[in-house]
Amino acid sequence: MHIHILGICGTFMGSLALLARELGHRVTGSDAGVYPPMSTQLEAQGIALMDGYAPANLEPAPDLVIIGNALSRGNAEVEAVLDRHLPYTSGPQWLQEHVLTRRPVLAVAGTHGKTTTASMLAWLLEHAGLAPGFLIGGVPRNFGVSARLGGAGAPFVIEADEYDTAFFDKRSKFVHYRPDVAVLNNLEFDHADIFDDLAAIERQFHHLVRTVPGRGALIVNAAEPALERVLAQGCWTPVTRFGGVVGERQGDWQVSHEPGETRRFTLHHRDHAPVAIEWSLSGEHNLANAMAAIVAAETQGVSVSAAGRALAEFASPRRRQELRGVVNGIEVIDDFAHHPTAIAFTLTGLRSLAGSGRLLAVIEPRSNTMRLGAMKTRLPESVATADRVYWYQPPNLSWSVHEVSEACRPPSAVFDGIDALINALVSDAEPGDRIVIMSNGSFDGLHERLLEALMQRADAPLS
């Protein structure tokens, strides 16, 4: 079958393309913006990419068109699909019908940490020899691909997004997945382009809860009041809670660690002996992600001690505090942070690492929520742990970043051009500094261009 995917370079749709290819289909796709790591992943699998949307991309006519949720009426290729009466569906629906049926599904939901937690969970299952399938909104470095079918009948890990499904299906994506195990990691207001308030998102999470069978499992962050409100709307599945301070009963699972040291921690449960774990990730948010992944893996028979050994070998997904290069002692780090809470998590986690250098934060307000300005009053507080902040003002942003910059506690500046931003960073950075670049897009190749500029300044090799 020839499947053509509209919006193929999005993290979800690109991963879907890999699964369709693995099932033996011929896969093509189109998108308005093609950039790594997804584009390189797809090209390596022999998937033909078409830059831009046009009716000609549908010639010869595919057997099925899968339309991503970034596409809407008025798009030339969407209109051609409708005019020609070509069969079409959404990505989540295709996934449920062709991949998720008749196998255990473990869905990871939450405003933050879905990619990291789903990557952890898939790795814990893999390390235990279960050969899981997965679809993750990033590239887990332990696997090198964002999606695979896995063994026949093996558990399937899915990053469960609350964003809507398609222009013709406004339900959240995750209601299609019908998981046996659902992780509810955290919940706060996001996606201001489609949700009016937090209560609207809570309703969608409750729709997910309604799909989990009574013999399944709900794994819920005990420190999240919004998730308790979700469960209060009705719950028919056993709930296991994680989080909270050891000794102050909140979650069934908790962690303890030395102050400021989150790369060594101990996992506690009333029915288990404490398990000491060492790993490479930092930050309290990643401890919550780890607890969620460990508890979910246990539902598939993975022991806590085995999960702890697997975490010692876990590498965070690409674009999640990913070190892109070091020049003259200056680290350039890539992070997907696209929400004030995520920005604060990233900076606080990096601040906790040993080292005397400064933390330089570079931020592009690019997500739909950011573009609408719904979170701009929270941005100054989110960067409080940085030593300097460099804001990028995209040309299509409807509000001024200067107001945010002026309210920041650390020294802060705004740039409306990438070249000027690079020049400032190259001028300011000193050996020992960490430059963390936060955006949910390609940022016009800033990471590579900055590393090249630093090398030119230092005449030093890239390590």
The DSSP bridge partners found for residue 278 are 264
**Does the annotation flag 348 for ligand binding?**
no
Dihedrals φ, ψ of 108, to 5°?
-110, 110
Concatenated DSSP letters of 41-60: HHHHTT-EEEES--GGGG-S
Identify which of 59, 55, 90, 249 has the alpha carbon closest to the alpha carbon of residue 164: 90
The Cα–Cα gap between 238 and 181 comes to 10
Strands of 160-252 (E only): list them. Answer: 164-166, 169-172, 181-184, 217-221, 239-245
Q: Are 156 and 150 in contact (CB under 8 A)?
A: yes
User: Given the structure tokens 């950011």, which residue do they identify?
Assistant: 370
Phi/psi zone of residue 177: left (φ > 0), alpha (ψ -120 to 50 degrees), beta?
A: alpha
**Does the annotation flag 170 for ligand binding?**
no
**Does the annotation flag 116 for ligand binding?**
yes
Pairing of β 272-278 and β 264-269: antiparallel
Residues 395, 396, 402, 408, CA torsion sign: negative
- Long-range contacts, stretch 260-268, CB < 8 angstroms, 24+ apart: 260/352, 261/352, 262/286, 262/287, 262/349, 262/352, 265/290, 267/291, 267/294, 267/304, 267/308
Q: Are 154 and 352 in contact (CB under 8 A)?
A: no
| Token code pair at residue 203 | 């309703």
**Does the annotation flag 111 for ligand binding?**
yes
Residues 252, 255, 256, 260, CA torsion sign: negative
Q: Are 327 and 454 in contact (CB under 8 A)?
A: yes
The Cα–Cα gap between 404 and 414 comes to 9
The Cα–Cα gap between 94 and 49 comes to 20
Identify which of 19, 48, 18 has the alpha carbon closest to the alpha carbon of residue 31: 48
* Radius of gyration of the chain measured on its C-alpha atoms: 22
**Does the annotation flag 115 for ligand binding?**
yes
Cα–Cα distance list, 296 to 115, 242, 279, 364, 423 (Å): 15, 11, 19, 34, 46
**Does the annotation flag 114 for ligand binding?**
yes
User: Given the structure tokens 């630093």, which residue do they identify?
Assistant: 454
Q: Are 27 and 3 in contact (CB under 8 A)?
A: yes
**Does the annotation flag 402 for ligand binding?**
no
Binding residues: 110-116
Binding residues for ATP: 110-116
